[in-house]
Amino acid sequence: MTGARSQKIAYQRLASLASEAIPGGSLLAVRSVRGGTSALTRELVVRAPTGEAEHLILRCFVLEWQGTPREKVQRERAALSALERADIRVPRVLWTDPDGKWLGYPALIQTRLPGRTWWPQAVQPTGAVAMGRALAAIHATLLPAELPSARTWVRWTMQSERARGSWVGAHPEARAIEEAITSVGDRPLRGAAVLSHGDFGAGNVLWSHGRLSGVIDWETAEAAPRGADVGACLIDCAVTGGSAMAEAFLEGYGSSVEDLWFWELLTALKFALLYVEWLPIWQSLGMAELQEATVRKRLDDAIDDALRRVC
């Protein structure tokens, strides 16, 4: 099969998908989407029967990371369906194929929200406060029964020798962190579960005209205590934007969280292993001046602060 013929067949298949997502619609264009590392993503521009151009996002899941591709489609669909009436703007799912029958791998089509991911906006106090308020609105939403529990991966992380082996050498305080998070057993998991984004942070928030315009990338949504999202985002804020960003985020969230240090330390271990790999991503999303030494110093400070609060 020639390259031209292959491209034609692929376009025809996407045209069929467009008409499935918007009945009677016709595909006008297929565009690349900047950013996004968790899925293969394309923008589909579709002419609706009304004549208006609708902008949709096709997300195709191919990575066996934090769940199977099939599970990711199901989790994203469940979370976004629950959030349709929430006080936070999220994409609306129009079509799903969890079995990968159309494109060879699980996929979904959703509406495209206005705006872009832009870290400098999130770093501003008003931006970080807006992020905290958005997360509070997510956690106030009725939890869908279809989502998996965070208990599974947390228990594995705490008990797995492979996980513990990866911590060694990642950070000078790795042993102290391990001792702290394992000493409390399941206590942090006993809190009431809420709808958790699973990867909430500046990398999955959109901004338009200086305002938060939506939250995207829901394939790791789960049922978890509020601290799972709050602690992870708090470390993300502290490392990429500094302590002022972290404090503004907590101000926006507006509620105290039990065992917050536990979730911060779990996230800090992941950051210690991966921050060098993530640094170019942060730089490409507006943080061009962010340097490795700055990130490491902020991570060290955040870990020290969380360890002081262990109880």
Tokens of 278: 């993530």
Using 50, 70 and 90 to split pLDDT, how confident is the model at 1?
very low
Residues 6 or more apart whose Cβ sits within 8 Å of residue 92: 80, 84, 110, 111
Fold designation for 119-308: Aminoglycoside 3'-phosphotransferase; Chain: A, domain 2 (3.90.1200)
- How crowded is the C-beta side of 96, counted as CA atoms within 13 Å? 17
What are the start and end residues of each CATH 3.90.1200.10 domain in the chain?
119-308
pLDDT tens digits for range 161-185: 877 778 888 899 999 999 999 999 9
Tokens of 111: 């509406």
- Stated pTM of the model: 0.94
Residue 160 has pLDDT above 90, yes or no: no
**Average confidence score pLDDT of the chain:** 93
Tokens of 261: 């240090």
CA 66 and chain centroid, separation = 11
pLDDT tens digits for range 290-304: 999 999 999 999 999
pLDDT at 10: 82
pLDDT tens digits for range 118-139: 999 999 999 999 999 999 999 9
Q: Helix, strand, or coil here: 283?
A: helix
- When pLDDT is averaged across residues 23-52 and rounded to a whole number, the result is 90
Fold designation for 3-111: Phosphorylase Kinase; domain 1 (3.30.200)
pLDDT tens digits for range 64-117: 888 899 999 999 999 999 999 898 999 999 999 999 999 999 999 999 999 999
Phi, then psi, of 58 in degrees rounded to 5 = -100, 120
What are the start and end residues of each CATH 3.30.200.20 domain in the chain?
3-111
Exposure pattern of 257-287 as b/e (b: 16+ CB <10 Å)?
bebbbbbbbbbbbbbbeebeebbeebeebbb
- When pLDDT is averaged across residues 57-66 and rounded to a whole number, the result is 91
Tokens of 114: 């206005």
